[in-house]
Chain A
Amino acid sequence: MLTATHSFEETDASAVVSSALWQADAQPLLRRVAVSDAGTGEAKWIEAVERIRTRRDQEAFVALFRHFAPRVKAYLMKSGAGETLAEECTQEVMATLWQKAHLFDPARASVATWVFTIARNRRIDALRRQRRPEPEDLPWGPEPEPDQAEALALQQESDRLGAALARLPEKQRELVERAFYGDLSHTEIAAETGLPLGTIKSRIRLALERLRQEMK
């Protein structure tokens, strides 16, 4: 989704950011909500992507792989892929994480969201055999010094959203899940889930406004 290129060399800025994330993680002000067993915390994944980007760190990649690859495969199989195709596409999706680590911006999306969009696009390509027109890139994306406050805020919202989703009544959660598995045709859409999406929307809207101001 992003075009901004970024140096692969480790920069002071990125080291500062990743250590700041870890410190913030321990601070009470972040008020991390309890995430389910499935979510091991966004800060850890942001750090892992950062390490892949700056150091080509295989250990960090393996950690991401162990968490996300089984979920990506499950997503693809629930969306209609057979076992073999799902396995093959999972490998491609995970390899894409390594190759495009420099395009990940924690101020715009959680790592899980980034993985989801890559897996979704792979599914459209492989299962539906159609192209996916993407919105025009904005000239933002990994800035030399990513906005830490924005990244932390989004991280917090992402954890809140995950917790809210986990708390939904079983039936409602299933409807949301099925919509994301591309199974709209068999889905009775629930009218209102009360998930905290508005805050994420507002946060990203503000970031866009700031960006438009800077571009003027």
Chain B
Amino acid sequence: MYRIRHHPTDALLIGYATGALPEAFDLVVATHISMCDDCRAKLAAYEALGGAVLDEAEGVALSDDCLAATLRLISDSPSEPAPSAAPRPRRRGIFPAPLADYVGGGEEAVKWRPAGMGVRQAILPTAKDARVRLLSIPPGAAIPDHGHRGLELTLVLKGAFRDDGVIYRPGDVEVADETTEHTPVAEPGETCICLAATDARLKFSGLLPRLAQPFVGI
């Protein structure tokens, strides 16, 4: 099996752990983690830091009724999870669970639209501060510029693309920002399917220099 070589930066994993990223980036990171045990372990370490921060923090006073209200919440709900509780999303073909959940199924469920030069795309519904789309690129075709303004994450799900001499294969993430001159081209042989998130909000790009510099490297 192919060993993933290109990962989200520590800054992105920290952003995902703290809950600071736009939903579109969360989806790319969660999908990558579903394919990559190294990043899953890193995320667990950053979340452990979140736990330590919470544990070391000073608390604030609760209302007098807080505990009683919580116990009422508990007794008002069934003590065991209802069997009808929403099932956890499952992997569908080449789509790991979080992506399959946003698409509403596997590859066959994608509502592709033509994007020129044989490329097809499908924008997935997320909060509007950033956008995430699936791209289907025929062999040899270039990935179109999709509003490259701030941070851009491109995760390969199928096939491969080459950018600046580097080949990205399933599970790999290319992290680019406005300073990166790049033209990803699908490798010959197979249609390349990617999940690409772009920053749609100028405000967020102000964060990038700092986000690119993680406070803890592991």
Contact = CB atoms under 8 A, between A and B. Distances in A.
Contact of B19 (A132, A137, A188): A132
Interface residues of B, number: 72
A133 B102 contact: yes
Nearest to A203: B41
Contact of A191 (B14, B67, B99, B213): B213
Nearest to B91: A136
B56 A124 contact: no
A201 B41 contact: yes
A38 B48 contact: no
Interface of A: 3, 5, 8, 36, 38-39, 56, 58, 62, 65, 68-75, 77, 87, 90-92, 94-95, 98-99, 108-117, 119-121, 123-124, 128-137, 157-158, 161-162, 165-166, 175-177, 179-180, 182, 184-185, 187-193, 195, 197-198, 200-202, 204-205, 208-209, 212
30 contacts: A38-B55, A71-B55, A71-B59, A87-B63, A90-B62, A90-B66, A91-B73, A95-B70, A112-B52, A116-B51, A117-B47, A117-B50, A128-B19, A132-B19, A133-B30, A135-B33, A135-B34, A135-B96, A136-B91, A165-B49, A176-B215, A179-B215, A180-B54, A189-B214, A190-B215, A195-B216, A197-B216, A201-B45, A201-B218, A204-B44
Interface of B: 11, 14-15, 18-20, 22-23, 26-27, 30-31, 33-34, 37-38, 40-63, 66-67, 69-71, 73-74, 77, 79-81, 88-89, 91, 96-99, 101-102, 126-127, 206-207, 210-211, 213-218
